[in-house]
Amino acid sequence: MSQAAALPDVIREIERVPADVVARAAEFPSSILADVAGRRGALHGRIQGLSPAMRFAGPALTVEVRPGDNLMIHAAMALAKPGDVIVIDGKGDLSSALMGEIMSQQCVALGVAAVVIDGAVRDSEAIRALGFPMFAAGLNPNGPTKYVPGRLNHPISIGGVAVRPGDLVVGDCDGVTVIEREKAAAMLPLAAEKVAAETKRIAGIRNREALRPSWLDAALRAAGVIKEGETL
């Protein structure tokens, strides 16, 4: 029997991205982290926060469910530790909600940092009032079933991105970015450098000293738009 075949459906213990890395990553926009991670790791734009003000950072607790069934989300909440982000592969199904106000209240009481669902939720007004960071692919008033088994803390695919248990997950008004646990700490100095460079660029635009990117002509030549020696 292979090692993969021997793994239980529910993995209780995982290695999480360190808390200090999470705290430092929370200082950066999801867009900056996606850029320094190679312009990858950003979930499909259909997965958005219920409010633009919602933001979070934390380690992923991964959940795989069958469409329309939230049994394993309840199991994930039973295992979640404070600061965890519950990341749910709901198969993109929007025919019924997988979570609502009651489960969101429970997440707040448990100290869960956020929930990210490739699926639907409901009670959106109540969740926004609660302020709990809920990121979902859509809304639907239908409730879920609770009897189909799934898996916890296995690698999943959500919004076109592979997510493993313990990976760094960051979300804000632009969406959600995932960075591999082992890679996360190395991205933070790069993120700080990028923020400094962008701040300088914006200052140059505002004072009208740099109204075009310094790389533009070279990129246009490399693309064959202008010839060597030419400029716009």
Domain ranges of the chain: 3-183
pLDDT tens digits for range 17-41: 999 999 999 999 999 999 999 999 9
- Cα 2 to the chain's mean position, in Å? 31
100 is an annotated ligand-binding site residue: yes
pLDDT grade for 158, boundaries at 50, 70 and 90:
very high
- 85-97 vs 156-158, strand pairing mode: unpaired
- Whether residue 7 has pLDDT greater than 90: no
pTM: predicted TM-score of the whole model, two decimal places: 0.93
So what's the pLDDT on residue 105?
98
pLDDT grade for 191, boundaries at 50, 70 and 90:
very high
101 is an annotated ligand-binding site residue: yes
- Distance set, CA 160 to CA 43, 58, 92, 177 (Å): 6, 20, 10, 11
Q: For the domain bounded by 3-183, which CATH number is listed?
A: 3.50.30.40
So what's the pLDDT on residue 232?
83
228 is an annotated ligand-binding site residue: no
77 is an annotated ligand-binding site residue: no
